[in-house]
Amino acid sequence: LRIGEPTGFAAYNPPVRELDLLNHIYSRNAGLPSRVTIPPGDDMGAITIGGASVLVTVDQVADGVHFDLATTPLAKVARKAVTRNLSDVAAMGAVPVAAVVAGCLPRGFGEAKANALFDAMRAVAMSYDCPLIGGDISMWDHPLLLTVTVLAETAGVEPVLRRGAKVGDNICVTGTLGGSMETLDDPPDYVHHLDFEPRLNVARKLAGDAMLRPHCMLDLSDGLGKDLPRLCAAASKPEPRPAGRGPSVGVELWIDRLPISRGAHRAAQRDGRPPWQHALGDGEDYELCFTIPREIADRFPTVIEGVPVTQIGRIVAADDDAAITLRMPDGSVQPMGEYGWEHHD
Amino acid sequence: LRIGEPTGFAAYNPPVRELDLLNHIYSRNAGLPSRVTIPPGDDMGAITIGGASVLVTVDQVADGVHFDLATTPLAKVARKAVTRNLSDVAAMGAVPVAAVVAGCLPRGFGEAKANALFDAMRAVAMSYDCPLIGGDISMWDHPLLLTVTVLAETAGVEPVLRRGAKVGDNICVTGTLGGSMETLDDPPDYVHHLDFEPRLNVARKLAGDAMLRPHCMLDLSDGLGKDLPRLCAAASKPEPRPAGRGPSVGVELWIDRLPISRGAHRAAQRDGRPPWQHALGDGEDYELCFTIPREIADRFPTVIEGVPVTQIGRIVAADDDAAITLRMPDGSVQPMGEYGWEHHD
């Protein structure tokens, strides 16, 4: 059994090759000029322009990979194309300011649909004070692909990086996890991976409040089982531009504390797997995952800006990066394995 | 006969529908917040972040549309993906500072090729002091598509807009035009649409020198016959945010002054059409097109930063936007027609 198997039209999780390629890209960061203040490898990159820090992220959504055009209303496609990026902005504790869109439209898509699609993207973006300020459109004989780039500003709050988890930190997540492709009744036709709310307000509160500020943060796009190892790997990366390595850290994940979504329960009913496996592996949660000093864990709020915050584990010393162990409800502890928990089940 | 017919693997020119869609998008500019200093419709958009003006542009290149992966070395694909955007930066007289890349790779593309592609994009970008600071990678069962977003700064020079052509201005272009898909021998295997040099230095010199500064500028991506009407349309657009309309302007184009590229001559030899038709309609020139006050036309340099600059016509009063007339070598004058000169031949 393997977490991340497609339950719908396509796989949630990127194949290993994509991660390899990303790592290949990150390995070249050392040569970047000093004005690059956040190099590739975080949820956004950042560069100094005219004395200001400008953050930027890009994400693409493709028909057949990230949505199914045959069954998904255009408004939801447009929403996801924009909000995926906004979730990255949230992960930095930044404020979105502008977006540009590139669209590759299948020939014969039709002018009315194209207009509706771009109108919807503009409306979604504007609803987050993130106006579309440019774009590029091509036609081709292949599926619809939308690429959105979002610029963000720090607005007085230092970005929260992926790097920074410390042994002893508690790990928190917002919202609930798993089953993001399930269609729910309340609200009607809610499908999390399309309709999720990027956690901009929560992130801003966390990043800007000295009593709450996390050591590190990312957004959960590929599932906790894949994103936690990234948090660990980032923790032991050298400082912004090389000097040495931090200690290797791992995670002890408290399975009985995972906030299980209604979608995860729904998915579990269908396939008979325990709901926590869906919470751990399904992906496309677009929730925040961050670590906080143990000293403040006891009095850390359980709701921020109306969104539940749950402590689900802790950062531990580890022999190698990204060793994740699961503390099961019966008290036993088992390794998760490298790409989810496929090694045991 | 129609300019812009594909001479190679795909059409140079976007179908009318794309222009319609872009116009639909631009029609919504009035609602943008005031910090958007250059709204959609120019070569780059701009927004104020922390007191600094940040320019941004996005462009995509797709296998089978903008290059043919079967016959194009990866290094040239990577180059074009980046330099198309840099040509937009040049068109504003701005300075590139950072890029992000989204890649949709065909499944089975292979890790070695993927690494080589991204390494080449990074190297090209860095060679223009425009480091890659982020990216997104997906796999799918369709052709390779690369979307590059470039951020730029003004670095003390007010951007030159598309809007601003005045009746009486002379129209200039850099370099030579036409036949951008032809393979030339010198330099070996030079194919202009892949190997062109974005005109950053010329543009910077033009924009930053009070004696040379153009009234307006764009880069020639779809061919003079399509891009000149855009310059005219922009000239009669309302000021940044509405107040009224400028006068309608058109162009008198001096056919015997067009700087004909070696590629255009090559293409003309093959299809028997006059070379100037290729210069007017082939597209993908990535040269600068700008207008200058008539008063300085006589003493305007014919070479800037080592690149030839040619005066090819003038801005005239017109009853409707974008009326282009051709002054032929025999002295006769004829209308170009709306999408090139297909109405007469």
Neighbours of B194 (CB within 10 A): 22
Whether B26 and A102 have beta carbons less than 8 Å apart is answered as no
Tell me the per-residue pLDDT of A108-154, one tens digit each, with 9 for 90 and over: 998 899 999 999 999 999 999 999 999 999 999 999 999 999 999 99
The CA distance from B314 to B328, in Å, is: 14
Q: Please answer yes or no on whether A102 and B60 come within 8 Å at the CB atom.
A: yes
Cβ–Cβ contact B108 with A under 8 A = no
* Average pLDDT score over residue span B117-121: 95
Whether A312 and A258 have beta carbons less than 8 Å apart is answered as yes
Neighbours of B219 (CB within 10 A): 25
Higher pLDDT, A7 or A342: A342
CA angle A143-A146-A149, nearest 5°? 160
The CA distance from A288 to B58, in Å, is: 28
Cβ–Cβ contact B208 with A under 8 A = no
The CA distance from A60 to B105, in Å, is: 12
Confidence at residue A98, expressed as pLDDT on a 0 to 100 scale: 98
Q: What is the DSSP string of A122-191?
A: HHHHHHTT--EEEEEEEEESS--EEEEEEEEE-TTSPPPPS----TTPEEEEES-BS-TT-EETTTTTEE
Nearest chain B Cα distance for residue A100, angstroms: 7
Tell me the per-residue pLDDT of A191-250, one tens digit each, with 9 for 90 and over: 999 999 999 999 999 999 999 999 999 999 999 999 999 999 898 765 544 445 566 899
Which of A28, A34, A136 is the best substitution to test chain B (most B C-beta atoms within 10 A)? A136
Nearest chain B Cα distance for residue A136, angstroms: 6
Q: Please answer yes or no on whether A58 and B21 come within 8 Å at the CB atom.
A: no
User: b/e string for B234-248 if b means 16 or more Cβ within 10 A?
Assistant: bbbbeeeeeeeebeb
ipTM of the complex: 0.90
Cβ–Cβ contact A50 with B under 8 A = yes
Helix (H, G, I), strand (E, B) or coil at B216: strand
CA dihedral A330, A332, A336, A341 (to 10 degrees): -40
Cβ–Cβ contact A260 with B under 8 A = no
Chain position carrying tokens 């998904």? A72
- What single letter denotes the amino acid at residue A279? A
Whether B130 and B148 have beta carbons less than 8 Å apart is answered as no
* Average pLDDT score over residue span B99-117: 94
B31: which DSSP letter?
Answer: G
Tell me the per-residue pLDDT of A11-43, one tens digit each, with 9 for 90 and over: 333 444 555 666 666 677 778 899 999 999 999
What share of chain A in percent tops pLDDT 90? 80
Residue B133 to residues A32, A158, A199, B107, Cα–Cα distance (Å): 9, 18, 23, 25
Percentages (nearest 5) of helix, strand, coil residues in chain A: 30, 30, 45
The CA distance from A7 to A182, in Å, is: 9
Tell me the per-residue pLDDT of B161-204, one tens digit each, with 9 for 90 and over: 999 999 999 999 999 999 999 999 989 999 999 999 999 999 99
Cis peptide before B40 (omega within 30 of 0): no
Whether A222 and A283 have beta carbons less than 8 Å apart is answered as yes
Q: Per this entry, what is the length of chain B?
A: 345
Q: Please answer yes or no on whether B28 and A149 come within 8 Å at the CB atom.
A: no
In the structure, what pLDDT confidence band is assigned to residue B345 with cuts at 50, 70 and 90?
A: very low
- What single letter denotes the amino acid at residue B59? D
Neighbours of A16 (CB within 10 A): 11
- Among candidate residues B31, B150, B177, the one with its CA nearest the CA of residue B96: B150
The CA distance from B297 to B315, in Å, is: 13
